[in-house]
């Protein structure tokens, strides 16, 4: 029977615990090359660990969480840039620590500033993981949303750019709307439903807004 899983449980199923150390690359150009080879997005940590207490907290807490470690190692090209690295000047960011997510083509997709906790990290970045989006046992992802929605368009463009198979269903069609609403209610979900909705294999996932 299909189940709706909270983000933390879904992560555990899709990313078995493995290495307890993040496989950082400390050169952005090398990370860009790796991303173009693998099709993965680049997550850059901009940090100043020698003096920034928020950076130290982030690295000793959020980045020690096994779920965060596995997401970074399996879903992204993890890149570590300190204030002593000359490449830090090429990034436009507000302060340390900052995390910026880039496509394999170098396009900025998402970012977070400050000592975010594990839950905030997962909410912000998890939906950009190629491994997650390819976790449906080979079946196309079913994307339910509104064609006029920018978030829906962003997901469609991302799937196309990454070569990820998907099927789009516009919920402005009453039959489609009834179908997805009924399916979610059958699973016993009592929380608010925010579109778009992804069905990945036997899992239902609400991407973070």
Task: Tell me: pLDDT of 51 over 80.
Answer: yes
Query: Residue 90, exposed/middle/buried by CB under 10 A (0-12, 13-18, 19+)?
Result: exposed
- If you count DSSP H runs as helices and E runs as strands, how many of each does the chain have, helices first? 8, 9
From 85, 111, 131, the end of a domain falls on 131
pTM: 0.58
| Model confidence at 120: pLDDT above 90 | no
Residue 171: per-residue pLDDT: 87
Domain interval for residue 199: 135-205
Residue 4 lies in a domain: no
In this prediction, residue 61 carries a pLDDT of 94
Residue 6 has pLDDT above 70, yes or no: no
- Answer yes or no: do 46 and 145 share one domain: no
Residue 3 lies in a domain: no
> Across the chain, what does the average pLDDT equal?
80
**For the residues of 18-32, what is the DSSP string, one character each?**
--SS---B--HHHHH
Report pLDDT for 1. 39
**pLDDT tens digits, 71-117:** 898 889 999 999 999 999 999 998 999 999 999 999 999 999 999 99
| Mean predicted confidence (pLDDT) in 10-34 | 71
The yes-or-no verdict on residue 40 having pLDDT over 50 is yes
Whether residue 31 contacts residue 44, with contact meaning beta carbons closer than 8 Å, is answered with yes
Q: Using alpha carbons only, how large is the chain's radius of gyration in Å?
A: 18
Q: By CB neighbour count within 10 A (0-12 exposed, 13-18 middle, 19+ buried), where does 191 fall?
A: exposed
Supply the pLDDT for residue 128.
84
Split into its structural domains, the chain has a count of: 2
Average pLDDT over residues 172-178: 86
Would the pLDDT of 33 be above 90?
yes
* CATH code of the domain containing 91: 3.40.30.10
Report the distance separating Cα 30 and Cα 158, nearest Å.
22
pLDDT tops 90 at residue 141: no
- Is residue 84 within 8 A of residue 49, CB to CB? The reply is no
Highest mean pLDDT among 26-40, 44-58, 143-157, 192-206: 44-58
| Residue 127 sits in the same domain as residue 179 | no
Instruction: Tell me: do 25 and 112 sit in the same domain.
Output: yes
Each residue's pLDDT tens digit, 184-201: 776 666 555 667 888 776
């Amino acid at each position: 029977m299909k189940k709706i899983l909270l983000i933390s449980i879904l992560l555990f199923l899709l990313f078995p615990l493995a290495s307890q150390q993040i496989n950082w690359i400390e050169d952005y150009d090398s990370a860009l090359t790796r991303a173009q080879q693998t099709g993965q997005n680049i997550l850059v940590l901009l940090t100043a660990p020698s003096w920034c207490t928020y950076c130290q907290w982030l690295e000793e807490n959020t980045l020690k969480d096994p779920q965060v470690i596995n997401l970074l190692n399996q879903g992204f090209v993890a890149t570590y840039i300190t204030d002593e690295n000359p490449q830090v000047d090429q990034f436009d960011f507000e302060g340390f620590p900052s995390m910026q997510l880039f496509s394999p083509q170098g396009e900025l997709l998402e970012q977070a500033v400050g000592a975010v906790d594990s839950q905030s990290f997962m909410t912000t970045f998890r939906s950009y993981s190629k491994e997650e989006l390819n976790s449906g046992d080979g079946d196309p992802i079913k994307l339910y949303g509104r064609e006029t929605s920018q978030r829906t368009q962003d997901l469609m463009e991302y799937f196309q750019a990454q070569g990820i198979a998907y099927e789009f269903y516009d919920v402005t069609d009453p039959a489609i709307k009834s179908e997805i609403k009924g399916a979610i209610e059958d699973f016993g979900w009592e929380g608010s439903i925010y579109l778009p909705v992804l069905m990945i294999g036997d899992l239902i996932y609400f991407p973070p807004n």
